[in-house]
Chain A
């Protein structure tokens, strides 16, 4: 009875928050906000940066999740702990740390300076900084999901594949990876959702320049800061809708490997 009551309170809070958002705005306000060029640019950058961060996160998460699931190696605990740091770190600290990393001078050499002048690929306060900030947190969650996925896949099949002539790499690619497809999709969904919700690191590391480094989470902040509450709520509802789609997708896929 008490547990039911407490659960109901939480669910009621979420429903009331969403209902308040919906009541605050009208369809016309929503339409007007979404027609603003700045918000459309932010929507495009959000879709692109979240997708780029997700693809990059998977490239790291799949092999690292497999490594942590299957192998005992020196420093494994350290690696395991390091992966979790972006999850527990305050978002602003993550952004500040990225900013410092790119601008700290080591014997006169600076990473941002090198990337801008030598490689021709400036990062800070530009779109790559948005992707990198999103990648930092999204990857940590993706690695966790992939590790659980591989933990649930019996390694015996990979062992047998090795007796049949496979190297460890072939056993991974031919046996483990095809079984992990649902986990990979779940991992991608989690990474994408986390990237969508990222704000603090983006604000510090990429800034909030309209039409350049503005994503939907920064749009809410920018619209609020200029007193455009209607637009802020409309964008918030758009993000809620995107998050709900992602969560429904995640629920449909499940988090385990294919049976």
Chain B
């Protein structure tokens, strides 16, 4: 479950005031709104990469407002994916588990499971600079869900994909999120994408977040 309670964020000259939203556990929410209105800023605040001025951020009922990003247990796929240039596909899927000092057997099992779910078994030892846009998206998604977070934040994850790949990725997102019961907040400009994926929809305009 994701809850924002009267959250205010200041980012240079840009500010958002008293933003509140609630997404029940396991639901898939889509956030829409014009470019530059602060959608990404909200996502960054939820995962702890941007400090908030006031308000509270709760994940599964726990106040994480003052917690470091590492302690929030949130999977995050930024718009630019930000894959690690020094790591191959396997290392991306292993990364969060290695940081958590999981056993080798458990890491190998989880990586194999993810590779099968995401359809990237044949890419597992490939360098990330040799991946297509859709393949990169799958790796970024796998990296974000590898440690079984309770919340998944997706910042326009399908915007750079062609229609066929986008439809495949939509289907994959639906399968993965439903199977893992992860609470998801997904930013998009695409109406079809929102209709296909959303359990609930939010719209951000002029600093006001409304449910639709």
Q: A-side interface residues toward B, CB under 8 Å?
A: 154, 156-157, 159-167, 170, 175, 178-179, 258-259
Structural contact, A163 and B72, CB atoms closer than 8 A? yes
Chain A contacts for B147, CB-based, 8 A: 164-165
B149's nearest neighbour on chain A, judged by CB, is: A163
Residue pairs across A and B with Cβ atoms less than 8 A apart, 18 shown, are: A154-B82, A156-B82, A159-B69, A159-B82, A160-B76, A160-B78, A160-B143, A162-B49, A162-B69, A162-B70, A163-B75, A163-B76, A164-B99, A165-B96, A166-B70, A179-B85, A258-B85, A259-B129
Chain B contacts for A157, CB-based, 8 A: 82-85
The SS class assigned to the B binding surface is loop
Chain B contacts for A162, CB-based, 8 A: 48-49, 68-70
Instruction: Give the CA-CA distance A162 to B129 in the complex, in Å.
Output: 22
- CB contact between B143 and one of A154, A156, A164, A259 (< 8 Å): that residue: A164
Chain A contacts for B83, CB-based, 8 A: 157
Structural contact, A165 and B100, CB atoms closer than 8 A? yes
Structural contact, B78 and A156, CB atoms closer than 8 A? yes
Decide: A161 near B84, CB < 8 A? Known: A166-B70, A167-B68, A167-B70.
Answer: yes
In the complex, how many angstroms separate the beta carbon of A72 from the nearest chain B beta carbon? Answer: 12
Chain B contacts for A154, CB-based, 8 A: 80, 82
**Chain A CB within 8 A of B47 CB:** yes
A180's nearest neighbour on chain B, judged by CB, is: B86
> Can you add 18 more A-B contacts, CB < 8 Å, to A156-B80, A163-B47, A179-B86?
A154-B80, A156-B78, A156-B82, A159-B82, A160-B78, A161-B95, A162-B48, A162-B70, A163-B70, A163-B74, A164-B70, A164-B95, A164-B146, A165-B100, A166-B99, A170-B99, A258-B85, A259-B129
Chain B contacts for A161, CB-based, 8 A: 84, 95
Chain A contacts for B144, CB-based, 8 A: 163-164
Residues from 95 to 110 in B contacting A, C-beta threshold 8 Å: 95-96, 99-100
Chain A contacts for B95, CB-based, 8 A: 161, 164
Instruction: Give the CA-CA distance A258 to B68 in the complex, in Å.
Output: 29
Which of under 10, 10 to 19, 20 to 34, or 35 or more describes the interface residues of B? 20 to 34
Q: B-side interface residues toward A, CB under 8 Å?
A: 47-49, 68-70, 72, 74-76, 78, 80, 82-86, 95-96, 99-100, 129, 143-144, 146-147
Instruction: Give the CA-CA distance A211 to B70 in the complex, in Å.
Output: 55
Decide: A178 near B96, CB < 8 A? Known: A159-B49, A163-B70, A167-B70.
Answer: no
Number of A-B contacts (CB under 8 A): 61
Chain A contacts for B85, CB-based, 8 A: 157, 179, 258-259
Instruction: Give the CA-CA distance A258 to B143 in the complex, in Å.
Output: 22
Structural contact, A160 and B82, CB atoms closer than 8 A? yes
Instruction: Give the CA-CA distance A178 to B85 in the complex, in Å.
Output: 9
In the complex, how many angstroms separate the beta carbon of A175 from the nearest chain B beta carbon? Answer: 6
Structural contact, A163 and B99, CB atoms closer than 8 A? no
Instruction: Give the CA-CA distance A178 to B76 in the complex, in Å.
Output: 22
Chain A contacts for B86, CB-based, 8 A: 175, 178-179, 258
| Leading 8 A-B pairs by shortest Cβ distance | A156-B82, A178-B86, A165-B99, A164-B96, A162-B69, A163-B76, A157-B82, A160-B82
In the complex, how many angstroms separate the beta carbon of B51 from the nearest chain A beta carbon? Answer: 12
Instruction: Give the CA-CA distance A171 to B70 in the complex, in Å.
Output: 11
Chain B contacts for A170, CB-based, 8 A: 99
In the complex, how many angstroms separate the beta carbon of B106 from the nearest chain A beta carbon? Answer: 15
Chain B contacts for A166, CB-based, 8 A: 70, 99
Instruction: Give the CA-CA distance A164 to B92 in the complex, in Å.
Output: 10
Chain B contacts for A164, CB-based, 8 A: 70, 95-96, 99, 143-144, 146-147
Chain A contacts for B68, CB-based, 8 A: 162, 167
Instruction: Give the CA-CA distance A170 to B143 in the complex, in Å.
Output: 17
Instruction: Give the CA-CA distance A170 to B99 in the complex, in Å.
Output: 9
Chain A contacts for B82, CB-based, 8 A: 154, 156-157, 159-160
Instruction: Give the CA-CA distance A159 to B72 in the complex, in Å.
Output: 13
Instruction: Give the CA-CA distance A230 to B109 in the complex, in Å.
Output: 71
